[in-house]
Amino acid sequence: MVTLLLDHSQLEIVLSPTERALAFQRGSIRVERTSIAKVQLTDDPWTWLRGVRSRGTHVPGAVALGTWKSESGDDFVAVRGRRLPGVVIDLLGEGAFQRLVISTRHGLALTRALRLDPAEASEVAAFGTPTAPASQRKPRRKPAARPVPAV
């Protein structure tokens, strides 16, 4: 899905070329840290969709990418799959979006990183495709050998 980059001043949602095309978005979405009002973890980000799709792609239960319009304002949505948890980020009314609804396995790490004092966050934190060290990965199972028929 999307890659989340967090540094001392902003949160950036990096979309792949395919995701940008499906969301009708020209580039990444950047949000200043000071404009983040609240971050909530959710087991089902689909329940947080509000309003109607304005620009983007929506296949119920499979993918929701793009802008959703409602009376409360515009939301950016990047939700994929039914079993993936997510994060809901409420923003102050300064930018293009009022809320970000994103499915990610790294919601807990993101909320912890956002709680840090910006002066303490000297490095850029990236939350995207999980890469475990080789020592923690499960070994691949070799397929069972099939007997060869006798001729």
pLDDT digits (tens, 9 = 90+) for 62-108: 999 999 998 888 999 999 988 889 999 999 877 788 999 999 888 88
Whether residue 25 lies inside any domain: the answer is yes
Structural domain harbouring 80: 3-127
**The pLDDT of residue 142 is above 70:** no
Per-residue pLDDT tens digits for 119-141: 454 444 555 544 445 455 556 66
Per-residue pLDDT tens digits for 36-64: 888 889 899 999 998 888 889 999 889 99
Q: Is 22 helix (H, G, I), strand (E, B) or coil?
A: helix
Contact predicate 101/29, CB 8 Å: no
Whether residue 91 lies inside any domain: the answer is yes
Q: Between the CA atoms of 77, 81, 85 and 86, what dihedral angle is there, to the nearest 10 degrees? A: -10
- Total count of domains within the chain: 1
Joined tokens for residue 16: 């792949």
